[in-house]
Amino acid sequence: MIQLGDPIETGGIELRYNCPFCLKRNGTEDTGWHLYMNPEKIINSIAGVFFCQRCGARGSANKLFNIKTEDPPAHKWSEIISRFLHPELHAPVSTAISMPDGVRPVRPNTQAGDYLTSRAISLDTAIFYEMMDWPERQRIIIPIKEHGKLVYWVARSYNGQEPKYLNPKGVPRRSVLFNIDHAGQQDTLVVAEGIISAIAIGRSAIATLSKMITPRQIELIADSKSPNIITCLDPDAINEAVDLCRDLRPFKNVRIAVLPVGSDPADLSYEVLKQVLDTAPVYNDWLGMMARLNGGLNGTEFQYPTVGSHHER
């Protein structure tokens, strides 16, 4: 894959890169950012989206990325387009946040402790994820950190109070991943949708907080030290799971797990969840196409046991 590096912005709509064609065409490498690329032309499907002022190379997006690979990562262009149209989705969280006043560690024999027990979450697990009790609002607070810094939190009601979740104001949840600091160091990272689902899977799982996964979240996963990825989104997010697998495949070894219809990881017994993850097939384009057509992989190839009760992990 050609690595163009970060572009220089021209002040208009064009971006400038060092041209990868100059070495072959001119005999010397380009170090002066002579290749111009116009994201707007990609969006509007206009031919000739790049041009090098130094060696004269010009052509389409695929030509630029197809120099040293038989499988051009077209998703890279959608990422560039997304950066051009929606830079806020790529930006790291910059707003300084803190935990609400009045929070305390979760204690046994309290409403918060009883709620966690009912969800098969042990006190040790609560300590690992640094969960806190917010008794004034009757909620469990689950922090989300990035490089050790608090970037977000989720406050989950434990007495049926609505809304079920509270979040810090002014911080985009679509820029963060629950448990990325720890899970991103493991050999296999599992991508779940909700926090409780990620906790049910285990300490190598992250949560995206939504089935709509943003470019920055994809970047965080791609930049993790985990060489192997298993996507395990909820059954109604099969299209989003396929998109995520496609976007991560150039960087990681990717498998796709599909849960039994009507379930999420927190609903499943340990044995069923383990089998779902252990038998998750390696992702490829054919598998993705079949998953989209069939609304999942639950067919003759993948017969899961009956959904059982959830056990503590």
32-46, 229-243, 259-273: segment of lowest average pLDDT: 32-46
pLDDT tens profile 241-289:
998 998 898 889 999 998 888 888 888 888 999 999 999 999 988 888 8
Distance of CA 110 to the CA centre of its chain: 34
Whole-number mean pLDDT of the chain?
80
- 272 or 64: which leads in pLDDT: 272
CA–CA distance, 60 with 53 (Å, rounded to integer): 16
CATH topology of domain 177-313: Dna Topoisomerase Vi A Subunit; Chain: A, domain 2 (3.40.1360)
Q: What is the average per-residue pLDDT within 34-46?
A: 62
**Per-residue confidence (pLDDT) for residue 95, from 0 to 100:** 62
Contact 222, 248 (CB under 8 A): yes
Please give the Cα distance from 39 to 84 (Å, whole number): 7
Domain boundaries, the chain: 8-85, 94-173, 177-313
Q: How confident is the model at residue 41 (pLDDT cuts 50, 70, 90)?
A: low
> What share of the chain has pLDDT > 70, as a percent?
74
Topology classification of domain 94-173? DNA primase DNAg catalytic core, N-terminal domain (3.90.980)
* pLDDT per residue as tens digits for the range 117-157: 999 999 999 999 999 999 999 999 999 999 999 999 999 99
Q: pLDDT confidence of 2, banded at 50, 70, 90?
A: very low
Q: How many CB atoms lie within 10 A of CB 163?
A: 8
Fold match flag (94-173 vs 177-313): no
Inter-CA distances, 66 with 23, 27, 72, 79, 214, Å: 16, 20, 5, 16, 25
Residue 184 structure tokens: 């991103």
Stronger pLDDT, 185 or 259, i.e. the higher one? 185
Q: Which residues contact residue 45 at a Cβ distance below 8 angstroms, ignoring those fewer than 6 apart?
A: none
Portion of the chain with pLDDT greater than 90, in percent = 41
Output 65 or 132, whichever has higher pLDDT: 132
- Where residue 298 falls among pLDDT bands split at 50, 70, 90? low
